[in-house]
Structure 1
Amino acid sequence: MLTRFLSCKRVTVLATVMAASMSMGTAQAKMDEVHFLVPGGAGGGWDSTARGTGEALAKSDLVDKVSYENMSGGGGGKAIAYLIKTAKQSDDTLMVNSTPIVIRSLSKVFPQSFRDLTPVAATIGDYAAFVVAKDSKYQSFTEVVEDYKKNPRSVSIAGGSARGSMDHLVAAMVFKAAGGEPRKLKYLAYDAGGKAMAGLLSGETQVLSTGLSEALSLAEAGEVRILAMTGEERSQAAPNVPTVKELGYDTTFVNWRGFFGAPGLSDEKVAEFTDVLKQMYETDEWATVRDRYGWTEIYKPADEFVAFLEEQEQEMGSLMKELGFLN
């Protein structure tokens, strides 16, 4: 009887040890490699998203090896075409992208869309913001809207991208929600955010349409004031900046950033990517990166990401048609 008891006890202990070992193995499991493909140059939003995510994954020991590749060209189309062409060799590749993949696909800047890739997950977001010079006559976004509704041509809105691109569309969306005529928006297109900022400070334009994270860095320098942003609620990074929704203009916008795999990527590999990205959110290393850039977390894995993309495509497509950018 004693022998039987000891034998059972050894089995119980062994089972407990094995279970603990398996649990530890699961907790410590990590991916061997992630290669980030960036469809633009160094220093931009896509680049910082890829490198910041890679930094958090590597430093938190969730991924053993992280590498990066910048591939500019065609408004992001060159990298998309490359990922499709090399699909069989790209199981470990994640291409970063954002709202422009929807807009540029609709406007035929490149022939592909997100459907030609494997959406893996949206990870972060940056809301839009409306900015004025520190000495501007406008003390609130409501005042800007009032002038716009009286005479749309009296208010110029600048952006660091071309007509029909995100800065333009977001401004049109907000003024439409405010009861204005979006086609009459006086949009001044600059070929970079820095040049648009210079236009604002020189008085060439009254208002700048830009990302909230970029607006916060400009405001910290003391050169501008942020009048409103496009989140569902106020940002913790800018608690004094009202949302356009709370001002009575029923619209929101977030420029998501996320990751795509090659076409045909297996469900197992997608699950592996989404799991490791989800685990990343719980790490101190991620918190450091997120707070550094002022990002908002908007984790949307796989199918949820696809549904979000389809909804944004419909919304942006309708607005682009209304503005005359699509037939």
Structure 2
Amino acid sequence: MRSKMLSFRRSTVLATALASCLTAGVAQAEVDTIHFLIPGGAGGGWDGTARGTGEALQKSGLVETISYENLSGGGGGKAIAHLIEVAEQSEDTLMVNSTPIVIRSLSKVFPQSFRDLTPVAATIGDFGAFVVKADSEYTSFNQLADAYLENPRSVTVVGGSARGSMDHLVAAQAFKAAGGDPRMVKYLAYDAGGKAMAGLLSGEADVLSTGFSEALALAEAGEVRILAMTGPERSSAAADVPTLKELGYDATFVNWRGFFAAPGLAESKRDEFIAVLEKMYGTEEWAKVRDRNGWAEDFRPGDEFVAFLEQQEQEIGDLMRELGFLR
């Protein structure tokens, strides 16, 4: 009997050791599931940010299951309202958003603000960019600015967001820096970056105002050229693209992007999201996604994110009043 028990114990120890060997080096997921809610359609900056972040989290083994849902409409307001409505069933949901949640709240595009959600973290900064068709008559931003100064209505700008929102605001800021009237921008609004790109290629507009990461993806296809970007210096992701500043226009703009959870989310769950996003920055998978998109890292978690949003509300409100978008 004793011999059998010893044999059983030996077998158990060997089985445990074998299991340890088999699982050694296999990372355990930090979070089981994240569902990304995207307030715009395919091809836009929100879409790229959510899918790029999800790609890095899943390929690095930090999150086991990733899913995505595009819910466009109302300048992002439809997705915000939906997340608030289904808050109790959405503890695994992260909604991507960016500067427009501040702009559109200020301009009353929708009644909610970041205060109606649970801010989790800002994660990246993406600059603005101005894009033309590959065969466009404009070969530099200086030419485009000169045409605007001569006749503002001769230059049609298209963007993947509503009038008075970020794509419009960035264009107005650039033309103001060139000496033009920012209130005269002829702007065509689409509900997503992909649709705005189609509008440019069809000839409905002369220039697309968009995010730099989106512009890089479009330029790779060979159908467009990037005239300028709004960063303080050139990006290694596209070293041939000049900044507005080096072209002689005193204008820079960075669009933060980050994630929000449902209202009433437990602080422990929020901290779990923050921890996994912070850990992501140290992975090779994230480095590939970040460099591919020309993103700048800009991590502001939890309460720091809330304080930043409050500051943004004040600064962007002042800029919008200066450019004539708010009274």
TM-score interval, normalised by the smaller of the two chains: 0.7 to 0.9
Change (3 A) 1:144 1:115: same
Given that residues 44 and 193 in structure 2 are in contact (C-alpha distance below 8 angstroms), is that contact kept between their aligned partners in structure 1? no
Aligned AA (1:109): V
Given that residues 40 and 191 in structure 2 are in contact (C-alpha distance below 8 angstroms), is that contact kept between their aligned partners in structure 1? no
- Write the distance in 2 (CA, Å) between the matches of 1:240 and 1:326: 36
Which runs of no fewer than 5 residues in structure 2 stay unpaired?
1-23
- Write the distance in 1 (CA, Å) between the matches of 2:66 and 2:203: 44
For residues 1-327 of structure 1, what are the structure 2 equivalents within 5 Å?
Answer: 30-42=30-42, 44-190=44-190, 193-194=193-194, 196-201=196-201, 203-327=203-327
List per-residue Cα deviations over 1:22-81 (Å, max 9, x = no partner): xx9xx9672333332333445543334323322322232222343444444433323322
How far apart are residue 198 of structure 1 and its match? 5.0
Aligned AA (1:159): G
- Write the distance in 1 (CA, Å) between the matches of 2:120 and 2:201: 40
How far apart are residue 277 of structure 1 and its match? 0.5
Secondary structure of the corresponding residue to residue 76 of structure 2: helix
- The match for 1:14 is none
- Write the distance in 1 (CA, Å) between the matches of 2:166 and 2:248: 22
How far apart are residue 228 of structure 1 and its match? 0.7
- Write the distance in 1 (CA, Å) between the matches of 2:132 and 2:69: 36
RMSD: 3.0
Structure 1: 4+ residue segments shifted above 6 A: none
Given that residues 229 and 244 in structure 1 are in contact (C-alpha distance below 8 angstroms), is that contact kept between their aligned partners in structure 2? yes
Aligned AA (1:30): E
Given that residues 129 and 211 in structure 2 are in contact (C-alpha distance below 8 angstroms), is that contact kept between their aligned partners in structure 1? yes
How far apart are residue 293 of structure 1 and its match? 4.1
Aligned AA (2:30): K
Secondary structure of the corresponding residue to residue 105 of structure 2: helix
Say which is worse superposed, 234-243 or 99-108, in terms of deviation. 99-108
Aligned AA (2:155): V
Aligned AA (2:78): K
Given that residues 40 and 70 in structure 2 are in contact (C-alpha distance below 8 angstroms), is that contact kept between their aligned partners in structure 1? yes
List per-residue Cα deviations over 1:62-111 (Å, max 9, x = no partner): 22343444444433323322333444444333221122222222222221
Change (3 A) 1:112 1:148: same
How far apart are residue 292 of structure 1 and its match? 4.5
How far apart are residue 323 of structure 1 and its match? 4.8
Aligned AA (1:129): A
How far apart are residue 112 of structure 1 and its match? 0.7
- Write the distance in 2 (CA, Å) between the matches of 1:113 and 1:164: 16
Change (3 A) 1:143 1:90: same
- Write the distance in 1 (CA, Å) between the matches of 2:308 and 2:167: 20
How far apart are residue 211 of structure 1 and its match? 2.0
Given that residues 219 and 226 in structure 1 are in contact (C-alpha distance below 8 angstroms), is that contact kept between their aligned partners in structure 2? yes
Secondary structure of the corresponding residue to residue 282 of structure 2: coil
Give the structure-1-normalised TM-score: 0.79
Given that residues 43 and 192 in structure 2 are in contact (C-alpha distance below 8 angstroms), is that contact kept between their aligned partners in structure 1? no
How far apart are residue 182 of structure 1 and its match? 0.6
- Write the distance in 2 (CA, Å) between the matches of 1:78 and 1:162: 14
How far apart are residue 196 of structure 1 and its match? 4.2
Secondary structure of the corresponding residue to residue 131 of structure 2: strand
Given that residues 122 and 256 in structure 2 are in contact (C-alpha distance below 8 angstroms), is that contact kept between their aligned partners in structure 1? yes
